[in-house]
Structure 1
Amino acid sequence: MAKRLNDNNAIGDVLKEFIQENRLQQGIDKIDVRDAWKNLMGNGVNNYTSEIMLKNNTLYVALTSSVLREELSYGKDKIIKMINEELGREVVREVILR
């Protein structure tokens, strides 16, 4: 049963504690990374993106265009940096384009 707190706590602190206790951070990270990719890459890249998956700090992105995949492979470090800045912490350490 959940413990009852008598102190007044900020809702953000309560949510952080709930996420930690229930081990939900990995699932939230997966959703946040997908949203960050869609926001940062824009419609041009998103039209050719078929799948986005985060697994063990590695972002797997399936693209339907080999030309776009080759072009994005030159900027993997920049993509990692942009996504981590968008999320406010280091979630992605490697990007694999398929």
Structure 2
Amino acid sequence: MAKRLNNQSTVGDVLKQIIQVNKWQPGMDQIDVKEAWKNLMGNGVNSYTRNVVLKGSTLYVELTSAVLREELSHGKSKIIAMINEELQRDVVKEVVLR
């Protein structure tokens, strides 16, 4: 049986508990990382981005430009730091550019 919450809980706390109890965090992380990539990279990079997928703690980014892929490969650690800062927790530990 689910733990009963007291009436003093905030909506955010209740949502966090629902996500934790139902084990929805990996799916939420997937959505959050896609949104963070879109916001942080801007229109230039997004126009060459085909797909963004989070599997475990590895972010797979599929790009249509080999030149952009090479350029971004030099800043993988910065990309990881920017996304984790945007999400306010360590979600991404590695980036694979395809």
Match of 1:16 in 2: 16
Following superposition, the deviation at residue 2 of structure 1 comes to 4.7
Following superposition, the deviation at residue 5 of structure 1 comes to 3.4
Distance in 2 of aligned mates of 1:84 and 1:5: 30
Structure 1 6/74 Cα, relative in aligned 2: closer, same or farther at 3 Å?
A: closer
| TM-score (normalised: structure 2) | 0.94
Q: Root-mean-square deviation (CA), in Å?
A: 1.2
Structure 1 7/72 Cα, relative in aligned 2: closer, same or farther at 3 Å?
A: same
Q: Deviations over 1:45-93 (max 9, x none)?
A: 0000000000010000000000000000000000000000000000000
Following superposition, the deviation at residue 9 of structure 1 comes to 1.3
Percentage of identical aligned residues: 68
Query: Quick check: 1:47 aligned with 2:60?
Result: no
Following superposition, the deviation at residue 15 of structure 1 comes to 0.8
In the TM superposition, structure 1's runs of 4+ consecutive aligned residues that sit over 6 Å from their partners are none
Query: Quick check: 1:37 aligned with 2:37?
Result: yes
Query: Quick check: 1:74 aligned with 2:74?
Result: yes
Secondary structure at the aligned position of 1:62 is classed as strand
